[in-house]
Every structure is written in structure tokens, then in C-alpha cells.
Amino acid sequence: MSENRVVTLEKEGTIAIVTLKDASGLNLFNRDMVMQISEVQDEIDRDKSLRAVILKPGGDHFSAGVDLEFLKSVTPTFIKENIDFLQRTFGRWRDMPMPVIAGVRGLCYGAGLELILGCDMRLAAEGTRLCMPEVRLGLSADQGGTTRLTQLVGLGPAKRLILACDEVDAQEALRINLVDYVVAPEEFEERLMKLAKRISYMPPAAVRFGKKGIYLASENSTAAGLLFEQAQSTYCFGSEDLAEAISAFIEKRKPVYKDQ
């Protein structure tokens, strides 16, 4: 990995903790930031023991968006050569087998908002402010912003956020389904870890199938979703972890899963 890390990875048991923390405290996106996110994603993919990922800021703000000095240097050639990589990196969290939980506080603007849209769940601290100001700058939200935001919140709220560049607070974000949980600032770290641990304690294959089935259902026909359910159900009923989950429940003990 590159030096001068602004994106770090720690592991607590089966949970990966990805932290964004640059010198400005605003986690401004530039090429190096995205490259480091990609490197961390590579490392997470290599560790088959992980069962949940937390993505969070190391300071008071998740991200104030793109670094404007970097933005001034971007050319059509740069976009042509890099946009596919950028979109894949921002959406790669969805392709991971384990759930990825974004924890946001302070500012979550532009590229920062696009990054959490690619995650599976979003937990916001009270006082968080979310905004997609690209149109105001003469840009489009091209790292999955217009696509994933619209899929997540629907046409009306997406128009407010993208075309009017509305800023919403945590409670409004919860109301329009932009975030899934709102917590007190002093509970932010604890609630993030508690959610990740709760998921990590569940049978890994069932969690993987659940995640994949949700996205398949949202982007395909009912018939395709039901066919996937048939396949995953056949697998789960033949797994050792199903028997372990039932035995542990009956015996009132903590289950030990083998992911088999």
C-alpha cells in the first residue's frame, strides 16, 4: 500500500474497520484517496474470514466532497481513462459478500455521499448534513450518484438532492430512506460496532445470500428473484451452519459457524 495513508484498515475479529482521515479533517476526495480505498478493498477481498465491514470517518466529518484543487486539474481525457475505475471503486462495496455499513457524521457531501450510496447500510449521527452539490459546480454525480441515489430514495427526493442541491439533515435523510439509522453523536462508534457485530454473529452463508438476493430482487424480475431463492434455499438446507444455528438456539448457547 502507498505511504501517507488517508484510508486505513483495521480488523477486530471478523470485522474490518475502514477509516477515512486526511490532514484537513474534511476527507477531501482526490486520486490518491480513491486509490487507497481501492487498495483497502483489495485487502478485504483477500481475507475470507471477514463477516462485516465498517466505513467511517476518523474525525468530525465523513467528507466535504471532492478536493477543488484536484478538480481543477481534471480533463476529459482523465475522465475517459478513469471513470470506469472510479465507478467500480465506489460501487465495489455492494459486490463484497459481507455487509458494508457506512457511519456518517458532520458533513457528507458530493463524492462522500456517493461513496456511502455504494454501501449496504448507513448509520448517521444526529447533526449530520448530507448534500450532492455537483450540479451547482457544473458537474454530474458520475460515481453512481444519480443512479444509486434514485434507486434508494425515489424520483422526488432524488430531484431535490441532485437538481436543487438540497442539503438534508440526519432526520430528513432517515425519512427519505437515505440513511437507515440515526443515533446520538456520543453513541456513534458504539452503535456502529454493535450493528456490525450483530451481523457478524449470524451464519455467514445466509448473510451472503440475503445480501445478494436483495440486490438481485431490486434490479431484476420477480421470477429471477424467486429462482435465486430456490437455489440459495437448497444450499442452506444442506449446510452444517443451519444445524448449528438450530442446535445453539435450542441449547441456549453461542453458535460456532464453519461457513459450510
Q: Is residue 260 part of a domain?
A: no
Is residue 220 domain-shared with residue 145, that is, in the same domain? no
Give the domain-ending residue among 200, 221, 238. 200
DSSP character string of 146-198: HHHHHHHH-HHHHHHHHTS--EEEHHHHHHTTS-SEEE-GGGHHHHHHHHHHH
Local confidence band at 102 (pLDDT 50, 70, 90 cut-offs): very high
Q: Is residue 88 part of a domain?
A: yes
Count other C-beta atoms under 10 Å from residue 220's C-beta.
12
Query: CATH number, domain at 225?
Result: 1.10.12
- pLDDT per residue as tens digits for the range 195-232: 999 999 999 999 999 999 999 998 888 998 899 889 88
Is residue 83 domain-shared with residue 21, that is, in the same domain? yes
167 annotated active-site: no
Query: CATH number, domain at 53?
Result: 3.90.226.10
Inform me whether the pLDDT recorded for 260 exceeds 70: no
- pLDDT per residue as tens digits for the range 2-58: 467 999 999 999 999 999 999 999 999 999 999 999 999 999 999 999 999 999 999
Kindly state the DSSP code that residue 134 receives in the 8-state scheme. G
Domain that holds residue 149: 7-200
Q: Report how far residue 33's alpha carbon sits from residue 21's, in angstroms, rounded to the nearest whole number.
A: 10
Domain count, the chain: 2
Strand order in the sheet with 107-109: 107-109, 129-131, 167-169
Is residue 152 domain-shared with residue 47, that is, in the same domain? yes
Q: Is residue 1 part of a domain?
A: no
SS3 14: coil
Is residue 142 domain-shared with residue 245, that is, in the same domain? no
Is residue 239 domain-shared with residue 133, that is, in the same domain? no
Q: Which pLDDT belongs to residue 139? A: 87
Q: Report how far residue 89's alpha carbon sits from residue 31's, in angstroms, rounded to the nearest whole number.
A: 12
Are the C-beta atoms of residues 31 and 69 closer than 8 Å to each other?
no
> What number is the average pLDDT over the span 114-129?
98
pTM listed for this prediction:
0.92
Is residue 187 domain-shared with residue 210, that is, in the same domain? no
- pLDDT per residue as tens digits for the range 143-184: 889 999 999 999 999 999 999 999 999 999 999 999 999 999
Is residue 100 domain-shared with residue 119, that is, in the same domain? yes
Is residue 222 domain-shared with residue 189, that is, in the same domain? no
Q: Which pLDDT belongs to residue 256? A: 87
Q: Is residue 111 part of a domain?
A: yes
Q: Which pLDDT belongs to residue 238? A: 85
Q: Report how far residue 132's alpha carbon sits from residue 118's, in angstroms, rounded to the nearest whole number.
A: 15
Q: Which of 10, 43, 81, 114 is catalytic?
A: 114
Q: Which pLDDT belongs to residue 1? A: 46
Is residue 172 domain-shared with residue 112, that is, in the same domain? yes
Q: Is residue 257 part of a domain?
A: no
Q: Which of 10, 69, 134, 240 is catalytic?
A: 134
Q: Is residue 82 part of a domain?
A: yes
Is residue 38 domain-shared with residue 155, that is, in the same domain? yes
Is residue 187 domain-shared with residue 78, that is, in the same domain? yes
10 annotated active-site: no
Is residue 192 domain-shared with residue 212, that is, in the same domain? no
Q: Report how far residue 8's alpha carbon sits from residue 219's, in angstroms, rounded to the nearest whole number.
A: 32
